[in-house]
């Protein structure tokens, strides 16, 4: 184990390592904002936020993996199979993003945590498929470290979803997601040995091409998600203004107003109604309680 870790750090570029971790933090931060929007969005808007959650999480994990791989074993001439590389991106969106999107709809904490664990195993699956895309080299993997890597991803993602539902700060949840992604990648890499043709280039051509592809994906990811969050923020601001106007209008009306939903929940009422029916000014009872109050009032 100690030898594996030493070989990992010897074969890893510090610059690419730092870039991958920073990118992972940004992706995790954007992901949690999408999850929060998906959980609170209206029924018609929810599917779009769920799709965005799946796309952001999958793309973020995939980009983090390949940015880290750019700095791994730059002493070898490595190339990547295009079909398997694209397939790993698809797996990331489905296997990582899918369970996270489902978790945004889970009402119970334990089901949310289970969905998070599935997404953690998806991180491991994406990593192994991404490694299988490597060509022009011979690979040897440690089964024990691969299993440990997958368990780390599942545990951290499960804890991240629990933290998001609890009173923990956003930074805690984001850090757990980063630990899941980076922990899975680097623990598995620590048990991987590559044998290939030595390169006299600082960065081989194929790795440079992959770097351009990963950078383009990262830039598109960040720009698109930031744009979506800005638009969502503006829409929320407009909704807040409309809600204040509606509240002011209701309170200034001379008649009592009452709106009850299909689920028999009192959704809208004004202070005039409370005055007419002798209810507390900030009454928040259910429709059943309202009927009981009316019945008692008539008996009096």
Does pLDDT of 82 surpass 60?
yes
Quickly list DSSP for 143-185. Answer: HHHHHHHHHHHHHHHHHHHHHHHTT--HHHHHHHHHHHHHHHH
Q: Which tops the pLDDT comparison, 285 or 127?
A: 127
**The pLDDT value given to residue 300:** 47
% the chain with pLDDT above 70: 62
Tell me the sheet residues that pair with 259: 268
Q: How far apart are CA 104 and CA 30, in angstroms?
A: 15
Tell me the sheet residues that pair with 196: 137
Does pLDDT of 147 surpass 50?
yes
**The pLDDT value given to residue 244:** 75
Distances (CA, A) of 155 to 117, 158, 176, 178, 252: 6, 5, 9, 12, 54
Lowest mean per-residue pLDDT among 136-145, 147-156, 206-215: 206-215
Q: Which two tokens stand for residue 300?
A: 């009096």
**The pLDDT value given to residue 296:** 52
Phi, psi for residue 81 in degrees, rounded to 5: -75, 120
Q: How far apart are CA 120 and CA 300, in angstroms?
A: 62
Q: Would the CA dihedral through 92, 96, 99, 105 be positive or negative? A: negative
% the chain with pLDDT above 90: 22
Task: Tell which residue, 226, 201, 203, has the closest CA to residue 67.
Answer: 203
Are the beta carbons of 115 and 103 closer than 8 angstroms? Answer: yes
**The pLDDT value given to residue 3:** 46
As a whole number, mean pLDDT of residues 33-47 equals: 82
| Lookup result for tokens 């030493």 | 6
- pLDDT band for 20, please (50, 70, 90 cuts): confident
Residue spans of alpha helices (H) in the chain = 2-10, 14-40, 46-70, 82-91, 98-103, 109-132, 143-165, 170-190, 205-252, 271-277, 287-299
As a whole number, mean pLDDT of residues 270-274 equals: 69
Q: What is the pLDDT of residues 256-267, one digit of tens each?
A: 766 666 666 666
Are the beta carbons of 285 and 266 closer than 8 angstroms? Answer: yes
Q: How many CB atoms lie within 10 A of CB 95?
A: 21
Task: Tell me how long the chain is.
Answer: 300
Does pLDDT of 116 surpass 80?
yes
């Amino acid at each position: 184990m100690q030898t594996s870790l030493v070989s990992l750090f010897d074969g890893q570029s510090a610059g690419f390592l730092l870039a991958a971790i920073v990118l992972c933090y940004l992706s995790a931060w954007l992901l949690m904002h999408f999850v929060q929007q998906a959980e609170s969005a209206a029924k018609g808007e929810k599917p779009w936020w769920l799709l965005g959650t799946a796309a952001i999480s999958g793309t973020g994990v995939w980009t983090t993996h390949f940015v880290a791989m750019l700095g791994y074993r730059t002493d070898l001439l490595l190339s990547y199979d295009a079909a398997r590389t694209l397939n790993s991106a698809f797996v990331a969106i489905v296997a990582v993003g899918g369970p996270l999107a489902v978790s945004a709809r889970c009402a119970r904490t334990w089901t949310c945590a289970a969905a998070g664990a599935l997404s953690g195993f998806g991180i491991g699956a994406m990593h192994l498929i991404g490694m299988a895309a490597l060509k022009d080299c011979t690979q040897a993997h440690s089964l024990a470290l691969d299993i440990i890597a997958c368990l780390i991803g599942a545990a951290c993602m499960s804890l991240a979803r629990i933290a998001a539902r609890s009173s923990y700060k956003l930074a805690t949840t984001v850090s757990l997601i980063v630990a899941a992604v980076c922990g899975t990648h680097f623990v598995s890499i620590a048990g991987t040995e590559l044998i290939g043709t030595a390169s006299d280039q600082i960065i081989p051509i194929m790795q440079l091409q992959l770097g351009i592809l990963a950078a383009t994906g990262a830039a598109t990811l960040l720009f698109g998600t930031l744009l979506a969050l800005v638009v969502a923020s503006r829409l929320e601001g407009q909704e807040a203004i409309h809600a204040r106007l509606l509240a002011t209008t209701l309170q200034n009306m001379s008649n009592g107003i009452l709106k009850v939903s299909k689920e028999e929940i009192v959704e809208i009422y004004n202070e005039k109604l409370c005055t007419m029916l002798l209810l507390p000014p900030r009454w928040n009872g259910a429709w059943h309680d309202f009927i009981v109050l009316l019945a008692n009032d008539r008996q009096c």
